[in-house]
């Protein structure tokens, strides 16, 4: 299924020289009228290729904001962000769209599946914006759905799927473009323990395959699956267990 | 994302919001259907009046007694006085007097009962001369028209319109039969051809033509017997129409001993002036109807605008998600543009179909001619698409410029 356009992630991605994520002194200020809220107050973080990082912190600690900035879904106020060596702070909207499309797989807390589309159509969405042909898109989407254990549900719409199944569709969508890293915002937040275990095992497999994974969680046992835990408080890094190898 | 892919995505979005799409199309459909029908009604009325006036004959001038000009003394309106006589007609017909006038047909008309056996039918009895036939561009289906001999001998001969013949004699041949008009037996010498299918033509098919001398002396009688209601003049060529007008005017002024043409006791109307008057009336009608149509298009447009705005606002999350997985603003804009165009175009085409269907069906129901105007149709469709594009693409393009997370957060 490998195309020239989308080379598969090399098995030994860990050996790549550049860190996947390298943010320095990132600040993010939200201003609503006269009130300014500083969500991030100078966060620096490096994540090497192949790492599995959990970001924890109480609500309001800025972890979601950090995640959105890492996913190029939001802009930073000051500081710098090098994604695999490339400074994304100065990229145009069009270039950012390409980055989001090719490099980043994002799993949203609410999954954000399009309700009108079936499971495989949701999964193939990033591929359609990458210009992949329809037949190949469908094959890739089905392959990914099989991998997350939803091979029987490809023609189901999101409202016909359970929360755990929806999260796996969202995960398949995040993976379909073979991104350099997968970002997940509380992927298990809405799931029961069985579904949580399922999703976490998928993350572990992905990490074993060489994918870089960053996820937000507030559950210690979820964080325990990660190799590294970064704790945020009040917009600053409170602790970081560091690369665990 | 290719255009084909964009089209597919847009069609999918339209299908997945069926009710909303249907309502949008309905707004456009009704607006455009209304434009086509109302403008068509106006233009149809215009065409109908023009064809009615043209069916009177070609290169025609009509002299009526009385005056429409504001002048001193006692005067009736055009057609109401008895100041025109057969003498005037004869003077105009005299060779050399009016070289640009090819034919002169004085007419005197009154409504009279005709009876044949037990059947009685009341219709217009027109006293005129043989020139009436070419001047009014009519022809005889059976038998013959009146002759000069009929005029000089005050013959009791009559030519019937096809509708009159039908009423009196049914489908049997009327020529040679006897019709009693005003107590006097007349012989039917001919039956006219039908003047056409318009409602004016139907009136022209129901009349009885008798020699003007017979009508004056044996049907009308009295002191006004030689007065006529109209003198039809046919100019020799269409270029000679204004010359014919001048000649007739001068000759009649001289005959009536009137020095100031403002005091003329007759009125000469040309087909052109009739057409001008009529078309100025129907033009007002068209403008009025066009205004109504424009308003309905506007109302439809505002409906479309509302639905589009709401639809895009509801879909800002979708826009955010599409951006988050890699759609650039251009691609988002293109998707909404295609969606709006598809809605506008299909609504527009359905509206055109509705308008044309109405234009085909309505005339049978209300007897009014409707002519579909291509320019009004094109303008209406372009307006519909423009409305869809402006109000569908503008908010979508604004949403496409938001950071994906802001779009995703919107409610």
Q: Which of residues 153-182 of A touch B (CB under 8 A)?
A: 173, 177
Q: What is the pLDDT along chain B (411 residues), one digit of tens a residue?
A: 678 888 888 888 888 888 888 888 888 888 888 888 888 888 888 887 877 777 767 788 888 887 654 444 444 444 455 678 888 888 888 877 788 888 888 988 888 888 888 888 989 899 999 988 888 888 888 889 999 888 888 888 999 998 898 888 888 888 888 999 988 899 999 999 887 655 555 577 888 999 998 888 888 877 777 788 888 888 888 778 888 888 888 888 888 888 887 778 888 888 777 777 777 887 788 788 888 888 877 887 787 778 777 877 888 888 889 999 988 888 888 888 888 888 888 888 898 899 889 888 888 887 777 888 888 888 888 887 887 788 778 877 877 888 888 888 876
Contact B328 A106 (CB under 8 A): no
C-alpha A221/C-alpha A91 separation (Å) is: 37
Task: Report the phi/psi class of residue A77: left, alpha or beta, with left for phi > 0 and alpha for psi in -120 to 50.
Answer: alpha
Give chain A as a 3 state SS string: CCCCCCCCCCCCHHHCCCCCEEEEEEEEEEEECCEEEEEEEEEEEEECCCCEEEEECCCCCCHHHHHHHHCCCCCCCEEEEEECCEEHHHCCHHHHHHHHHHCEEEECCCCCCCCCCCHHHHHHHHHHHHCCCHHHHHHHHHHHHHHCCCHHHCCCCHHHCCHHHHHHHHHHHHHCCCCCEEEEECCCCCCCHHHHHHHHHHHHHHHHCCCEEEEECCCHHHHCCCCEEEEEECCEEEEECCCCC
Question: Could you tell me the two tokens for A52?
Answer: 């599995």
* Count of CB pairs separated by less than 8 Å, A with B: 69
Instruction: Give, for B119, the enclosing helix (H) or strand (E).
Output: strand B119-128
Last residue of a domain, one of B215, B235, B264: B264
Cβ pair A101, A177 in contact under 8 A: yes
Q: Does B406 touch chain A (CB under 8 A)?
A: yes
- CA-nearest of A158, A96, A215 to B405 is A96
B370 and B249 belong to one structural domain: no
B175 and B321 belong to one structural domain: no
How many other CB atoms are found less than 10 A from the CB of residue B375? 8
B165 and B195 belong to one structural domain: yes
Contact A97 B323 (CB under 8 A): yes
Domain count, chain B: 2
Last residue of a domain, one of B211, B230, B264: B264
Of B12, B324, B403, the CB nearest to A106: B324
Longest CA–CA span in chain A (Å) reads: 53
B190 and B252 belong to one structural domain: yes
Q: Does B16 touch chain A (CB under 8 A)?
A: yes
ipTM of the complex: 0.87
Contact A73 B324 (CB under 8 A): yes
B103 and B225 belong to one structural domain: yes
Q: Which residues lie across from A237 on neighbouring strands?
A: A232
Pairing of strands A236-240, A228-233: antiparallel
Contact A129 B12 (CB under 8 A): no
B284 and B399 belong to one structural domain: yes
Amino acid B71: pLDDT? 45
B347 and B391 belong to one structural domain: yes
Residues in chain A within 8 Å Cβ distance of B405: 68, 73-74
Contact A114 B1 (CB under 8 A): no
Q: Does B138 touch chain A (CB under 8 A)?
A: no
Chain-centre distance for alpha carbon B125: 27
Q: Is residue B232 part of a domain?
A: yes
Residues in chain A within 8 Å Cβ distance of B323: 97, 100
C-alpha A150/C-alpha B408 separation (Å) is: 26
Q: Is residue B255 part of a domain?
A: yes
B32: DSSP letter: H
Residue B183 structural domain: 82-264
Q: Does A111 touch chain B (CB under 8 A)?
A: no
Residues in chain A within 8 Å Cβ distance of B403: 73-75
B348 and B215 belong to one structural domain: no
Q: Is residue B59 part of a domain?
A: no
Q: Is residue B58 part of a domain?
A: no
Instruction: Give, for B113, the enclosing helix (H) or strand (E).
Output: strand B101-116
B258 and B285 belong to one structural domain: no
B210 and B175 belong to one structural domain: yes
Residues in chain B within 8 Å Cβ distance of A177: 326
Of A93, A100, A129, the CB nearest to B1: A129
B39 and B143 belong to one structural domain: no
C-alpha B189/C-alpha B191 separation (Å) is: 7
Q: Is residue B269 part of a domain?
A: no
B115 and B243 belong to one structural domain: yes
Q: How far is CA B108 from CA B79, B89, B209, B216, B222, in A?
A: 11, 12, 10, 8, 14
Q: Which residue of A has its CA nearest to B321?
A: A112
Last residue of a domain, one of B208, B239, B264: B264
C-alpha A11/C-alpha A19 separation (Å) is: 16
Of A114, A131, A173, the CB nearest to B318: A114
Q: Does A138 touch chain B (CB under 8 A)?
A: no
């Amino acid at each position: 299924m490998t195309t020239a356009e989308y080379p598969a992630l090399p098995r030994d991605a860990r050996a790549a020289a550049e860190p996947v994520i390298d943010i320095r002194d990132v600040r993010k200020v939200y201003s609503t009228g006269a009130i300014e809220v500083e969500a991030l107050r100078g966060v620096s973080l490096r994540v090497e290729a192949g790492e599995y990082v959990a970001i924890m912190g109480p609500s309001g600690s800025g972890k979601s904001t950090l995640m959105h900035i890492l996913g190029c879904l939001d802009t930073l106020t000051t500081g710098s962000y090098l994604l695999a060596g490339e400074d994304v702070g100065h990229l145009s909207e069009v270039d950012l769209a390409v980055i989001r499309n090719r490099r980043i797989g994002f799993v949203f807390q609410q999954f954000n599946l399009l309700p009108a589309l079936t499971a495989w159509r949701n999964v193939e969405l990033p591929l359609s914006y990458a210009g992949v042909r329809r037949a190949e898109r469908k094959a890739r989407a089905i392959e990914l759905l099989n991998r997350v254990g939803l091979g029987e549900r490809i023609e189901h719409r999101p409202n016909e799927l359970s929360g755990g199944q929806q999260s796996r569709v969202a995960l398949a969508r995040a993976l379909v473009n073979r991104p350099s890293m997968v970002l997940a915002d509380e992927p298990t937040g809405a799931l029961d323990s069985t579904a949580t275990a399922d999703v976490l095992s998928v993350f572990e497999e992905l990490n074993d395959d060489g994918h870089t994974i960053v996820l937000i969680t507030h559950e210690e046992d979820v964080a325990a699956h990660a190799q590294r835990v970064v704790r945020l408080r009040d917009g600053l890094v409170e602790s970081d267990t560091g690369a665990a190898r | 994302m290719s255009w084909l892919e964009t089209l597919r995505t847009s069609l999918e979005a339209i299908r997945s919001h069926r009710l909303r799409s249907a309502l949008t199309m309905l707004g456009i459909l009704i607006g455009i259907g209304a434009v086509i029908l109302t403008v068509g009604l106006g233009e149809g009325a215009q065409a109908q009046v023009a064809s009615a006036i043209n069916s009177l004959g070609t290169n025609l001038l009509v002299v009526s007694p009385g005056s429409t000009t504001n002048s001193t003394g006692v005067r009736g309106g055009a057609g109401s006085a008895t100041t025109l006589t057969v003498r005037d007609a004869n003077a105009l017909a005299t060779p050399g007097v009016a070289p640009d006038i090819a034919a002169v047909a004085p007419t005197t008309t009154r409504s009279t009962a005709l009876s044949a056996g037990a059947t009685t039918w009341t219709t217009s009895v027109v006293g005129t001369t043989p020139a009436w036939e070419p001047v009014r561009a009519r022809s005889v289906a059976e038998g013959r028209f009146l002759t000069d001999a009929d005029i000089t001998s005050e013959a009791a001969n009559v030519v019937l319109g096809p509708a009159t013949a039908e009423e009196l004699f049914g489908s049997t041949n009327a020529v040679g039969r006897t019709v009693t008009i005003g107590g006097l037996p007349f012989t039917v010498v001919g039956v006219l051809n039908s003047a056409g299918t318009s409602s004016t033509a139907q009136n022209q098919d129901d009349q009885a033509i008798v020699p003007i001398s017979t009508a004056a002396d044996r049907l009308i009688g009295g002191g006004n017997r030689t007065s006529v209601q109209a003198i039809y003049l046919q100019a020799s060529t269409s270029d000679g129409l204004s010359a014919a007008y001048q000649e007739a005017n001068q000759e009649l002024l001289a005959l009536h001993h009137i020095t100031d043409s403002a005091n003329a006791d007759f009125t000469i109307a040309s087909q052109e002036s009739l057409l001008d008057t009529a078309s100025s009336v129907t033009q007002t009608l068209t403008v009025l109807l066009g205004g109504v149509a424009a308003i309905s298009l506007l109302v439809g447009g505002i409906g479309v605008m509302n639905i589009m705005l709401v639809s895009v606002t509801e879909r800002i999350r979708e826009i955010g998600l599409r951006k988050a997985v890699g759609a650039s603003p251009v691609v988002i804009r293109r998707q909404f543009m295609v969606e709006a165009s598809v809605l506008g175009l299909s609504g527009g085409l359905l509206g055109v179909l509705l308008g044309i269907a109405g234009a085909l069906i309505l005339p049978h129901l209300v007897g009014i001619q409707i002519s579909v105007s291509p320019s009004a149709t094109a303008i209406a469709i372009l307006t519909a698409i423009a409305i869809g594009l402006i109000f569908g693409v503008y908010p979508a393009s604004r949403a496409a410029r938001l950071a994906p997370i802001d779009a995703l957060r919107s409610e």
